[in-house]
């Protein structure tokens, strides 16, 4: 009997194809909107996590000031000294690498090719902290760091623009007023946090940058790699206490430096994108309710149109439960069909939009299954009232209906 009921329900849907399609349009739009929003939102979350993790895992970035800038309104807080780096390396437990950084910008020139880029002065600890391996060549030697030699390691963007397809190892080029020898090339990393190209960089020994470009021994940024066996929070507290002591900050006076935990930044940004995704999905889900109301209205019209048919079925022996089941199955079939079409449209839209938005396509079986189940539930909920109305008709009155 249940199989016969399903067949009758699908025959009724097929008799009015255009009306059936218009009936499920709200469900299609609702499911497509919800699945697309959540899929792209998950992709955005994954992209944020990937970009932040490219800054390094278990990394503490120490900068002067209260934010990424120096702040405004008051005197500029002083940069760090080389002695601060030595103190962190020797006195803070749980530190695996300490990489000071001095930064400048300049135009690299080689045989008519030129490229404006960022110049970062650092030490070999930088590659440990960043977990950034070499694609070719080597890192700085201790002698090169101590003497401030004019040697450099290129990011892939700089290598491509200066050397094209040539092997740059051992070759020389000019950057600002000095001639630099290439000793290594970094592996490609692509876009990093905050949309910057991580490969657009020239790395040199920090003393070289300080003497030739900055003209000072001051250090702008200190990158501290934390041993995974240690709690990042406890290392951060020890680091903060040491720097307060060295910078003469006593009592309740505010720090004139800040420590950024890359993991905390990643967690915060990921949490924010997940909340926004949930909100967008909830807004889109409202159209599912609208679609359910549309199904209920059309099914009520269908009951009115088919009153005589219902009367005949009841008169020849069909029980009210069977009539109710037929209309309920019709409503659920319409809702499920709308859910399937909506999921297919959502997957196509997500595949098309993900490259445009520069986020990975993140297929989530759970959200697709949940959207389908919810659409079926919409059919049950909003199809129940029309089905009950059909089942409660009096056979004699239904047969008299014109």
> What pLDDT, in 10s, does the model give residues 340-398?
999 999 999 999 998 888 888 888 888 888 888 888 888 888 888 777 777 777 666 65
Round to whole Å and give the CA distance between 389 and 300. 8
pLDDT classification of 151: cutoffs 50, 70, 90 = very high
Mean pLDDT of the chain: 82
**C-beta separation of 80 from 100 below 8 A:** yes
Residue 226 within any structural domain of the chain = yes
Residue 56 within any structural domain of the chain = no
Question: Which pLDDT does position 260 carry in this prediction?
Answer: 84
Residue 289 within any structural domain of the chain = yes
Dihedral of the alpha carbons of 253, 256, 262, 264, in degrees to the nearest 10: 20
Residue 271 within any structural domain of the chain = yes
Name every residue whose Cβ is closer than 8 Å to that of residue 335 and which is 6 or more positions away in sequence: 24, 27, 291, 292, 295, 375, 376, 378, 379, 380, 382, 383
Does 351 lie in the same domain as 226? no
Per-residue CA distances from 334 to 26, 289, 373 (Å) = 11, 14, 13
Give the pLDDT confidence of 75-84 residue by residue, as tens digits. 678 889 989 9
Q: Centre a 10 Å sphere on the Cβ of residue 269 and count the other Cβ atoms it contains.
A: 17
Residue 70 within any structural domain of the chain = no
Does 226 lie in the same domain as 325? no
Question: What ranges in 247-364 are assigned the alpha helix state H?
Answer: 262-305, 307-315, 320-357
Round to whole Å and give the CA distance between 267 and 265. 6
Question: Which pLDDT does position 88 carry in this prediction?
Answer: 92
Domain ranges, residue 388: 2-51+267-400
**C-beta separation of 222 from 128 below 8 A:** no
- State the total domains in the chain: 2
Residue 58 within any structural domain of the chain = no
Does 158 lie in the same domain as 10? no
Does 103 lie in the same domain as 181? yes
Does 102 lie in the same domain as 45? no
Question: To the nearest whole percent, how much of the chain has pLDDT over 90?
Answer: 26
Hey, which residues does 225 pair with through a beta bridge? 59, 97
Of the ranges 10-14, 102-106, 373-377, the best mean pLDDT one? 102-106
Residue 60 within any structural domain of the chain = no
Round to whole Å and give the CA distance between 30 and 20. 16
Domain end point (choices 213, 232, 255): 255
pLDDT classification of 71: cutoffs 50, 70, 90 = very low
Round to whole Å and give the CA distance between 39 and 30. 14
Does 382 lie in the same domain as 291? yes
Round to whole Å and give the CA distance between 204 and 124. 10
Q: To 10 degrees, what angle do helices 262-305 and 17-53 make?
A: 180
pLDDT classification of 54: cutoffs 50, 70, 90 = low
Domain end point (choices 206, 223, 255): 255
Give the max Cα distance, the chain: 106
Round to whole Å and give the CA distance between 349 and 283. 18
Question: Which pLDDT does position 51 carry in this prediction?
Answer: 66
Round to whole Å and give the CA distance between 350 and 36. 6
Round to whole Å and give the CA distance between 249 and 269. 31
Does 215 lie in the same domain as 110? yes
Does 359 lie in the same domain as 219? no
Question: To the nearest whole percent, how much of the chain has pLDDT over 70?
Answer: 85
Does 313 lie in the same domain as 225? no
Q: Which residues of 7-18 are buried (b: 16+ CB within 10 A; e: fewer)?
A: ebbeebbeeeee
Residue 62 within any structural domain of the chain = no
Question: Which pLDDT does position 55 carry in this prediction?
Answer: 58
pLDDT classification of 70: cutoffs 50, 70, 90 = very low
Q: Which two tokens stand for residue 120?
A: 């970062």
Q: Which two tokens stand for residue 61?
A: 């970035």
Hey, which residues does 116 pair with through a beta bridge? 107
Q: Which two tokens stand for residue 29?
A: 């739009």
Where is pLDDT greater, at 6 or 239?
A: 239
Give the pLDDT confidence of 284-337 residue by residue, as tens digits. 677 777 777 777 777 777 777 667 776 776 677 667 777 777 778 878 888 888
Does 383 lie in the same domain as 292? yes
6-10, 15-19, 41-45: least confident range: 6-10
Does 199 lie in the same domain as 86? yes
Does 275 lie in the same domain as 237? no
Round to whole Å and give the CA distance between 275 and 108. 44
Where is pLDDT greater, at 382 or 224?
A: 224
Tell me if residue 133 falls in helix, strand or coil.
coil
Question: Which pLDDT does position 4 carry in this prediction?
Answer: 66
């Amino acid at each position: 009997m249940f199989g016969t009921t399903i067949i009758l329900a699908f025959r009724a849907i097929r008799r009015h194809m255009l009306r059936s399609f218009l009936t499920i349009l709200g469900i299609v739009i609702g499911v497509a909107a919800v699945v697309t929003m959540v899929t792209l939102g998950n992709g955005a979350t994954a992209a944020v996590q990937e970009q932040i993790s490219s800054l390094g895992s278990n990394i503490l970035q120490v900068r002067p000031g209260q934010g990424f800038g120096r702040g405004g309104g008051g005197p500029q807080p002083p940069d760090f000294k080389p002695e601060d780096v030595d103190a962190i390396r020797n006195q803070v437990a749980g530190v695996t690498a300490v990489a000071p950084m001095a930064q400048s910008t300049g135009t690299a020139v080689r045989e008519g090719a030129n490229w404006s880029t960022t110049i970062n002065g650092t030490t070999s600890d930088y590659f440990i902290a960043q977990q950034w391996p070499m694609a070719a060549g080597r890192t700085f030697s201790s002698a090169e760091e101590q003497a401030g030699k004019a040697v450099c390691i290129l990011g892939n963007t700089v290598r491509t623009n200066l050397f094209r397809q040539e092997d740059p190892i051992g070759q020389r080029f000019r950057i600002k007023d000095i001639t630099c020898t290439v000793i290594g090339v970094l592996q490609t990393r692509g876009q990093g946090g905050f949309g910057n190209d991580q490969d657009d960089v020239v790395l040199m020994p920090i003393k070289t940058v300080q003497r030739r470009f900055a003209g000072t021994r001051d250090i702008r940024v200190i990158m501290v790699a934390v041993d995974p066996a240690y709690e990042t929070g406890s290392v951060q507290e020890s680091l903060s206490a040491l720097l307060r002591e060295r910078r003469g900050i006593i009592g309740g006076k505010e720090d004139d430096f800040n420590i950024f935990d890359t993991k905390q930044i990643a967690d915060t940004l990921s949490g924010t994108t997940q909340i926004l995704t949930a909100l967008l999905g909830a807004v889109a889900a409202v159209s599912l309710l609208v679609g359910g109301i549309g199904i209920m209205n059309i099914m009520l019209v269908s009951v009115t149109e088919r009153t005589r048919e219902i009367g005949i079925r009841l008169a020849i022996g069909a029980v009210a439960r069977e009539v109710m089941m037929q209309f309920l199955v019709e409503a659920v079939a319409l809702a499920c069909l709308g859910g399937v079409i909506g999921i297919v449209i959502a997957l196509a839209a997500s595949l098309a939009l993900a490259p445009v938005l520069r986020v990975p396509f993140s297929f989530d079986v759970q959200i697709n299954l949940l959207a389908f189940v919810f659409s079926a539930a919409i059919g049950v909920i909003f199809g129940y009232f029309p089905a009950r109305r059909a089942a409660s008709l009096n056979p004699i009155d239904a047969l008299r209906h014109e």
